[in-house]
Structure 1
């Protein structure tokens, strides 16, 4: 039998597909829809210390090749999501989950993570390093010094399984430098990638989203080649104990297959999930299994990371 089951750290998942943070995860009702779908897991909306309304509308728009958004971290506060995943983990048939978190400052990040450390939550935690943190500074993960400082302090007290959500990197030297930072820490996973920042989409003579004069993160078809490159670059460079979640441009079984071929252990769906709804998980799973059957692969391990090069 062909299986799309997978594992991150010591957590097992019946299916390698799940939502990307930001999509179908704002409310318990949305998370419940993903929980009850063919997805192997869900990740919560990135929770901040306090609830946030986010940026003014329109802040998300579907485009011909994907989407553009500048959401501004709208969420119900991290405790809303923490309470829900604890509630679910106490149910006998619950899936394993990912709790996504970030502070609006390093101090807030540590307050949040210390509360999670003290809680009864036993699942995986994703620290979102692909959010702008300090005005005038780049996204956290583009600032290797700050990233090192934050992770050093985090792992001085945090003992639960933790991974990081990353923005895309575009330079080979940055892959080298980022991997050198992440390899210093007992990370469970890295998630590659968040949207490509500060794209601009125009309709006639006007931008299509309101925040930041139209500048926003690109998702969908635009970003798949960049996402695959980041997945494979980190698969080549990270300690084998640090697994990779592939995110970006996944709307078919073929897309998921390519992420796994590049080294991903799990695959997240964002823009296409927003457009199609949670039924997409069954369709993409069926398509992925069909490709695996055609190629004679019975498990993800049969082809994960086994990308071929041209001699």
Structure 2
């Protein structure tokens, strides 16, 4: 850990991963901060020590903070200011029971993630990675009227699973491309929002899946969404359908998805997240009709800096004795 010289009466903040330089510099101005020297995740032992040594922990999605780890935190830790919107890697209920508040950074990654969802739809349906590989290898020998034939996304039925901020941003973009927007959500949107998005609600996820051409997954990982797209549900989809996932890998039964893609029971998939983190099924990696990205959905300079700004606001508000604006409660999950 690289320690910045402390000042009296400043909160001790430990950051678990390297953050953008501007964010780290601002944290150092405001707090007694320990920064990570290398961009590697902390071990469980390092996390436990960081939680004992800090008033505020700033983790990321790569830090699994469960009940057992929280039990080692001691009495000092009072805030976990997550750098990211998703908090499924944090046992929020256990943290709250120990008097530890949890915050996140909602809304910041909405537009960037929606952009990536559309990019993956285009990459899969227009076979962009195949064309790129051919050009980079020097195998291209000229234009042909039957080469690299993909499909247009205009006119296709897009099913959106999860119609929160990101799902709605995807719908707005899909409208521009001339897609028909359908969605399934725990709660139906207000009529005026449906009208704005030109979106059709399906109470039954099964019925929607059977009718869409492209499925965009924008649902969080919770106990109720784990393997929501099970083998049974995946089999409901058309063999010409494409799945895009920019939310959480655990929402899909990845083994079932891999089998269906390899068997031709689904036309393709664009995945930015995976069920087992960076441990990706080799058979999925080798599938020719799949585009895989290394969790890049929110990876823009603007987005990362805005996430840092939200973390700082949450910590500063907490330090001033007020409720942080982005408080996460177990009832919200």
Q: Provide the TM-score with structure 2 as the length reference.
A: 0.29
Give the TM-score taking structure 1 as reference length: 0.31
- Larger of the two Rg values belongs to structure: 2
> 1 or 2 for the larger relative contact order (CA 8 Å, sep ≥6)?
1
